[in-house]
């Protein structure tokens, strides 16, 4: 079994769905958490100057969705065939598009503008992307986005739904019942539930 080390800040952030994957497949990894205040002096030591960073027997891999996709393939969490694997990628790209649409809100300091941005996201972007996720789940033959068992993208989507609940509107999922059920189902998987109950208490 390879030796894995995942380096990120002491946050949930964009590394949390990667941690979900490791815990779901019961594979040990070193959960290396950096002090955020030390990051400016250390970032030049990391590929692309960003985290998270996955090390597998010393080999380095960066970018969170790339790491998720890689582990999905390695642990057979990327669908049953090439089409299902591509659907995982499609949902991943759509999720990144949604997060990019929300990005300005998270950096806006003017409260009036923040309110306007939040309302626009809830009226336009959330329906566009979450509506599609919800409809696809309605038409799915399982409780998951791709195939009949959890795929790597399921952990990413579930995590970022919670992020949007925390940062934008804690009740927005009530308009998307299948998506709400999907998130609850992922979080109730025994391995994920156990991790959530015991993980370090940190900011997002």
Domain ranges (residues) in the chain: 4-76+191-198, 82-189
Query: Which pLDDT score is estimated for 133?
Result: 98
Query: Which pLDDT score is estimated for 90?
Result: 98
Question: Band of the pLDDT at 203, cuts 50, 70, 90?
Answer: confident
Query: How many other C-beta atoms are found inside a 10 Å radius of the C-beta of residue 35?
Result: 9
- Statement: residue 30 has pLDDT above 90: yes
Query: How many other C-beta atoms are found inside a 10 Å radius of the C-beta of residue 145?
Result: 25
Which residues, other chains included, contact 91 with Cβ-Cβ below 8 Å and sequence gap of 6+?
Answer: 133, 145, 146, 153, 157
CA distance 98 to 168: 13
Equal fold, 4-76+191-198 vs 82-189: no
Query: Which pLDDT score is estimated for 93?
Result: 98
The pTM of the full predicted model, rounded to 2 decimals, is 0.96
Of 10, 3, 17, which Cα lies nearest the Cα of 183?
Answer: 17
Strand order in the sheet with 53-56: 30-34, 4-9, 53-56, 59-62
Instruction: Please list the alpha-helical segments (H only) found in the chain.
Output: 16-24, 39-42, 64-74, 82-107, 111-120, 126-138, 152-167, 177-187, 190-198
pLDDT digits (tens, 9 = 90+) for 176-186: 999 999 999 99
Report, as an integer, the average pLDDT of 166-188: 97
pLDDT digits (tens, 9 = 90+) for 126-142: 999 999 999 999 999 89
pLDDT digits (tens, 9 = 90+) for 34-60: 988 889 999 999 999 999 999 999 999
Pairing assessment for the beta strands 30-34 and 4-9 based on DSSP bridges: parallel
Report, as an integer, the average pLDDT of 100-112: 94
Best CATH choice for the domain 4-76+191-198 from the list 3.40.30.10, 1.20.120.350, 3.40.220.10, 3.30.360.10: 3.40.30.10
- Statement: residue 122 has pLDDT above 90: yes
CA distance 8 to 5: 10
Contact 161, 186 (CB under 8 A): no
Report, as an integer, the average pLDDT of 86-102: 97
Which residues, other chains included, contact 14 with Cβ-Cβ below 8 Å and sequence gap of 6+?
Answer: 8, 52, 64
Query: Which pLDDT score is estimated for 138?
Result: 96
Query: Which pLDDT score is estimated for 25?
Result: 98
Best CATH choice for the domain 82-189 from the list 1.20.1050.10, 3.40.50.10680, 3.10.450.50, 3.40.1280.10: 1.20.1050.10
Beta strand ranges found along 25-80 (DSSP E):
30-34, 53-56, 59-62
């Amino acid at each position: 079994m390879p030796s894995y080390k995942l380096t990120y800040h002491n946050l949930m952030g964009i590394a949390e769905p990667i941690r979900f994957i490791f815990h779901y497949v019961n594979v040990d990894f070193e959960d290396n958490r950096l002090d955020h205040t030390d990051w400016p002096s250390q970032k030049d030591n990391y590929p692309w100057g960003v985290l998270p960073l996955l090390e597998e027997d010393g080999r380095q891999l960066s970018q969170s969705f790339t790491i998720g996709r890689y582990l999905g393939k390695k642990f057979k969490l990327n669908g049953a065939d090439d089409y299902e694997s591509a659907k995982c990628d499609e949902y991943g790209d759509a999720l990144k598009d949604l997060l990019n649409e929300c990005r300005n809100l998270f950096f806006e300091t003017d409260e009036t503008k923040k309110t306007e941005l939040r309302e626009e996201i809830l009226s336009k972007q959330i329906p566009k992307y979450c509506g599609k996720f919800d409809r696809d789940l309605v038409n799915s033959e399982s409780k998951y986005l791709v195939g009949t068992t959890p795929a790597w993208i399921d952990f990413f989507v579930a995590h970022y739904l919670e992020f949007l609940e925390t940062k934008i509107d804690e009740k927005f999922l009530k308009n998307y019942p299948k998506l709400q059920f999907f998130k609850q189902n992922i979080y109730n998987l025994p391995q994920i539930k156990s991790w959530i109950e015991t993980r370090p208490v940190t900011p997002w």
